[in-house]
Amino acid sequence: MSEDAVEGLVTLQERVVNLIKQLNMPLVEVSIVIQNMLSPMLTSLEEHAATNNSVIPRLNKVKINRKKVKTSYRVQLGDIVEIYDISKFKISKRSKIIKYKPSRKEVDIYDDYILENNNNFMVINKPRGIAVQAGTKSFRNIIDVLKDSKYFKNTKPYIVHRLDKETSGVLIVAKTREYAQLFTSLFRIRKIHKTYIALTHGRISKDIKTLKDDLVTIDNGKKNVQKAVSHLRILKTSTDFSYVELNPITGRKHQLRKQLYNIGNPIIGDDKYFINKRADKIKFKSKKLLLHAYKIKFMINNIQYNFKAEYDKEFENFLKKNF
């Protein structure tokens, strides 16, 4: 953006602020005034950015006396009105998104992971080490693999739930928008029941049958507290670790991993929720997260579906060696 253009916007900004200071109106009306004055300019900027593959930051930052206030607040004489500093306005280049292109060999390998395939949905045994969908930290992903397969020639895969990248096991992928919405609704009303198995550090007390936590997450700088509930059944224990079955009732991010960590028994191979990472690796020699989505069951049109995904060699070898 040229210096003249920036100077023009700054001058406009000063005029708007001076105008607001002289008015006794609700902040919502102030916002409308600002929007009407800046909208034509922003439209031109957006068109410019689109043709140059750029990104424009949001300009909706308005504070009164250095604080955010309700939209019903009336601006008073003497109030300090702050809006986006247009003099610092910059158009940044949009990061080029590189889509993952799986090889034909990798696409064909997934034939061995299919547990169910029909016209409406597919169920697979997701291997650990691959994300469900692409993200800022994940390039290789299941969705890009499946959409290039023979099973999705006339449609596309729809995500209806997620598994962590390092978690293996049962994953449902819808083939139609209608079934994607159906599965989403079933998950929301808790009519889809999932069972996980995990290997954890230490001996879990036999008295623990239910895990209840207030899990804290930070979203856009805001602290959120969510209730998390899971049922736990101990399958085997030893001096060094426990083999457990888990049924999450709620569906929070990293729920099982956080809850087991909270009781002092983190999952073996977890590099995010751990007590002594170096000691864990030396003692157990496992770099993989030993958490597996073992079973899933649900009912559609009075038909009961039950799917079970066998755990991989890493999980199997650990069990054989330690029991």
Residues taking part in catalysis: 164
Amino acid sitting at position 213: D
- Alpha-carbon distance of 285 to 265, in angstroms, equals 17
- Alpha-carbon distance of 248 to 251, in angstroms, equals 7
- Alpha-carbon distance of 270 to 52, in angstroms, equals 42
- Residue 96: exposure state from Cβ atoms within 10 A (0-12, 13-18, ≥19): exposed
Q: What is the largest CA-CA distance in the chain?
A: 79
- Alpha-carbon distance of 59 to 133, in angstroms, equals 31
DSSP 32-62: HHHHHHHHHHHHHHHHHHHHTTEE-------
- Residue 289 tokens, joined: 């997260």
DSSP 71-135: TTPBP-TT--EE---GGG---EEPPPP------HHHHHHGGGGEEEE-SSEEEEEEPTTSBSS--
User: In angstroms, how far is the first alpha carbon of the chain from the final one?
Assistant: 68
